[in-house]
Amino acid sequence: MSTVLIIGAGVNIGLPVAKRFASAGYKVAIASRTAPENSEHRHFVFDAANAATVPKLFSDVTAAIGAPKVVIYNAYAWKLADTEDPLTMSLNDFEYSISVNTISSFIAAQEAVKSWAQTGTKGTFIFTGNILNVRCLPNVPGALVFAMGKSAAASLIQGASYGYKGKGYKFYYVDERKEDGDPAFEGRSGEAHAEHFIKLVDSLGQGPWMQTFVKDKGYKQFNELHGQ
């Protein structure tokens, strides 16, 4: 029985994903600062703002239920800022956001690769993304720094998907959209994410690293340029 580690166990996406993987026969580890109420999954206390603790999370999960074959990075930090003066965000808020959205995701991917190499596993790493790596949303408070984190994570996934393709490791940046390509945001579906994640894990070989998808439709490519 394989193990999935879900970092960031919120009710919107993390827990529906955990439920779906459990139904597929996975041992499920969820990691977050506090344990979700009434969750039947093994919980590990973890703060994504402290990237130095990521290796311990992996070692704890491995010792408790087995080395993760699938790692899903679903943690995020969104710090508000003035839309007309977005560079006024404090250094503390900026560092916190980048730590959660970028640095810890890098270390998590690093630890995943180490684990797969040690166990001979062809694993999958999935980052829960959004449209901000390709489209600026200037009227959304705090979107500038949030987008910086998502863009860096997208670059991580893209580079890793190419670099480790020969080893059979898969890396995906997953972004739910509406039919017209606009971001799902408030209308995003945890269940739809879960189904798409399962498909990516079960697929043979690395697919397109940037997985834009539409609920009940699956993967859909949108012709986008940075700066739209």
Which residues share a beta bridge with 174? 128, 211
List the one residue out of 139, 213, 207 whose CA is nearest residue 183. Answer: 213
Which residues share a beta bridge with 4? 28, 70
Query: For strand 210-214 and strand 218-219, is the pairing parallel, antiparallel, or unpaired?
Result: antiparallel
Structure tokens at 22: 């459990």
Which of 27, 150, 170, 215 does the annotation list as catalytic?
150
Q: Is 150 a catalytic residue?
A: yes
Residue 112: alpha-carbon gap to chain centroid? 13
Q: What's the CA gap between 128 and 121, in Å, rounded?
A: 22
Q: What's the CA gap between 82 and 142, in Å, rounded?
A: 7
Catalytic sites, residue numbers: 150
